[in-house]
A and B are shown apart, each in its own frame.
Chain A
């Protein structure tokens, strides 16, 4: 039994890390910021943690926090120019950013190890640490999402003019979304570094960018459960059948297209909306039944 569980731990760890990345992508999309920078921010967190551990001997926990902080700071810096751009251009700028970070990582050998990346990071991060990370991230985003922050994000995303007319300081909330996205991505990247012994630059490129986007497009970008569901499904899919694993990218591509065309709110949010509609429908029919009774 224990062997059964331990056999699946690596997969669980992978799923948790992917959930973290998904949450990072989710929070900006929920706030109507079309940032695809999560992969880049994660790589910054990974390098920051890796460098702290390998070059400065900083303990793991502090390094992970350092990674999160690095991600958050870069995201905040980014948010200033990005706030002034419309969605399409935010997308372009953030895709370009991921490329810049990749190029710089490959180029600055001395700091980043170039194409070889950073190696030999002691694996001091296991499932308990990852679960803690997941718990904190999910709880924090869930809590914020249920309150004013979530309300503001949803308003900004759906109709910015309305949000402004309600006194919502759009730029500030979007900066907050960026900061949260950066912190979670940075932490996830740092944990990846510590869990995988190494930081490999190519891991944080276009592949991760599109995969992370797929998590949120499939799962949904309003409820916190959305990105988690998307990440779990897409992480487990390759495990179910070999062909699914071999054709990962095609499947991501098809799912992205199918989801955005036929299920634009994502799985979780579509269910939420459908249930609400059903409940209202039921209530309405109760009302009409009552009316008929009196007619």
Chain B
């Protein structure tokens, strides 16, 4: 039934939105296309799983641990892959390439740690409960996903738009040099944005890991690609855009798989990406930064 599929689509979409938010934050504020974002997401899932399987922590604790550690991993990533380039004013190209390298390293370590197997949660980590809401089936996991996503996004919006730190982040997004001259400590801003971005990715990772009960070192790849679509549709650097486009993408994907063809869903999604890049490269929403040069002059 289509309403059910829409619900499923929105659940999937909220994870895409979480993931894409972290990605777009880094690009919007610092103009870095962090290709290692998917690897951080994947490590969030790994940490969540290991917290449960190796350390016997209850799921909520594992969740928090994963979020925090993913945030720290992201900060470490910035320190290793991007900061040296910033120091010498390297062009955009270098940061993207560096992040690709970092992503390979992170994925490979995960591959070794997991011995290239798909890891799974123990059977009773989260009870399998199904609720009925207005004639629709909602599993506990789906509810957890949606509620977590809502909480996290609300917290992020409050942080960005109603705290001093958030204001500093937005100042740096507009113009880093000027913000520095006005007393904003850029290193601290980088710390915050990368931590938040990693935390978002980590949260998405744990949620997906438990939702599909599958954690493996390649799980970040499809999400990266979908994040591209989300940020192009939603506009690079736009928080609202990432949210709306993420949800929309989840919907489109779920409906396509249900009603058209599962094999072609990827091709369809990426075709949407291309078309958007051609017709409206700046996306459909406003941005954290005023000027978003997507097209050449």
Contact = CB atoms under 8 A, between A and B. Distances in A.
A91 interface: yes
B33 A260 contact: no
Chain A CB within 10 Å, residue with most, of B85, B92, B232, B270: B270
Nearest to A96: B270
Nearest to B95: A260
B281 A85 contact: yes
B270 A213 contact: no
Contact of B277 (A93, A253, A262): A93
Contact of A107 (B97, B107, B229, B263): B263
Contact of A86 (B94, B105, B261, B293): B293
Contacts of B271: 100
Given A86-B294, A257-B102, A260-B97, A96 B228 contact: yes
B92 A85 contact: no
Contacts, number: 122
A264 B90 contact: yes
Is chain B's interface secondary structure helix, strand, loop, or mixed overall?
helix
Nearest to A246: B112
B90 A257 contact: no
B134 interface: no
A103 B264 contact: yes
Contact of A96 (B111, B225, B295): B225
Given A89-B281, A250-B108, A260 B101 contact: yes
Interface string A39-60: 0000000000000000000000
B104 A256 contact: yes
A75 to B, nearest CB: 15
Contacts of A96: 225, 228-229, 270, 273-274
Contacts of A249: 104, 107-108, 111
Nearest to B277: A93
B139 to A, nearest CB: 28
Nearest to B228: A92
A93 B281 CA distance: 11
Interface string A78-101: 000101111111011101110110
Interface string B202-215: 00000000000000
A261 interface: yes
A95 B221 CA distance: 11
A260 B101 CA distance: 9
Given A249-B107, A249-B111, A261-B94, 11 more contacts: A34-B93, A81-B278, A85-B277, A88-B92, A89-B294, A92-B228, A92-B273, A92-B277, A97-B274, A160-B296, A257-B102
Interface of A: 34, 81, 83-89, 91-93, 95-97, 99-100, 103-104, 106-107, 160, 206, 210, 213-214, 217, 247, 249-250, 252-257, 260-262, 264
Interface of B: 33, 80-81, 84-85, 90, 92-94, 96-98, 100-109, 111, 221, 225, 228-229, 232, 261, 263-264, 266-267, 270-271, 273-274, 277-278, 281, 293-296
